[in-house]
Amino acid sequence: MNVGMLYSRIRKDEKLLLAELRDRGHAVEKIDVRKQSFGLSEPPAAFEDVDVVLDRCLATSRSLYATRFLDAYGIPVVNSSATAEVCADKVKNSLALAGAGIRTPRTEVAFTSDAALEIVERFGYPCVLKPVVGSWGRLMAKIDSRSAAEAIFEHKETLGHYEHKVFYVQEFVEKPGRDIRVLAADGEPIAAMTRHSDHWLTNAAREAETSAFELDDEAGEIVAAASEAVGGGLLGVDLMELEGDDDPGYTVHEVNHTVEFKALNEAVDVDVPAAVVDWLETTVEDGHSPTETSVGAHS
């Protein structure tokens, strides 16, 4: 197949994919999103011969718009714009999970600091404030007191750009010092790892310690449901374990759509890029575009 890799920076993840694709004899066109311009009906020349596009854009805005254009041109893209739209925004992500009946941390959203303060006072301390768009644990706040909440909300309201006028408040989950990242292709887990840290943020990008994790049946079912809830595709599903809870199990805090996997690849025995390319080959060979198969609750 002829794969278009849409990127702005070739990270280790993209290098792994490129090597795997080329080893198998697939043609790969590296398409630098920064050099493209997208018209309303004809695809840019770089996309003319590709069978499928892998969206590996770092910037959410680029990923959201480029996948929209590719959909409009009828060019299959992983992940679809519908999936990207849900996953790129924590409000839409949470609504999709809750709407599908998947356990997710208690969350409320408000649009002024006063209304947000009311949520925090009701939830109790600590609680969590997240930017609606972002990753790698950036700009996340664990709020321990009313005075901290007031200060953070005032900063956001005064200094933040418009996305930061949305106050996404979440209960703090007493996880066991780690969370779980599952890489899944259309709901089928490829591999999973725990991310352990003394810090409450356990992102791999923050140097959390990673180890391979065996999914049990319950986690497997949750991952499949979470994938479907956001429209399917190649996804990173983030879960936390509720050990001390009255009702132990898993809660899903987010699903990621342009997922990094280099840390996962090092943590597990599975050859992650090979599994990703296996899935990509099947999806393209089956003749159904990833776009068409990705009909989720929010497409």
By the criterion CB under 6 A, which residues form the site for ligand ADP? 105, 128, 130, 134-138, 140, 170-173, 175, 179, 200-203, 238, 253-254
Candidates 32-40, 218-226, 234-242, 271-279; binding stretch for Mg ion (CB under 5 A): 234-242
Q: What does 170 bind: ligand ADP, Mg ion, none (CB cut-off 5 to 8 Å by kind)? A: ligand ADP
| d(C-alpha 106, C-alpha 128), whole Å | 10
- Residue with Cβ nearer ligand ADP (206 or 288): 206
Which option in Mg ion, ligand ADP, none does residue 201 bind, with CB closer than 5 to 8 A by kind?
A: ligand ADP
State in angstroms the smallest separation of the CB of 238 from Mg ion: 5
CB of 177 to Mg ion, least distance (A): 16
- In angstroms, what is the minimal distance from the CB of 52 to ligand ADP? 26
Q: How far is the CB of 102 from ligand ADP (least distance, A)?
A: 15
Binder among 71, 108, 238, 260 for Mg ion (CB under 5 A): 238
* Rounded least distance, CB 72 to ligand ADP, Å: 28
Would you say 217 or 247 has its CB closer to ligand ADP? 247
Instruction: Report the partner that residue 200 touches, choosing among ligand ADP, Mg ion, none (CB closer than 5 to 8 A by kind).
Output: ligand ADP
Closest CA to 213 of 259, 173, 268, 253: 268
The nearest distance, CB 58 to ligand ADP, in angstroms, is 13
Two tokens, residue 186: 């259309």
CB-nearer residue toward ligand ADP: 50 or 230: 230
Output 202 or 291, the one with its CB closest to ligand ADP.
Answer: 202
Residues that bind Mg ion (CB under 5 A): 238
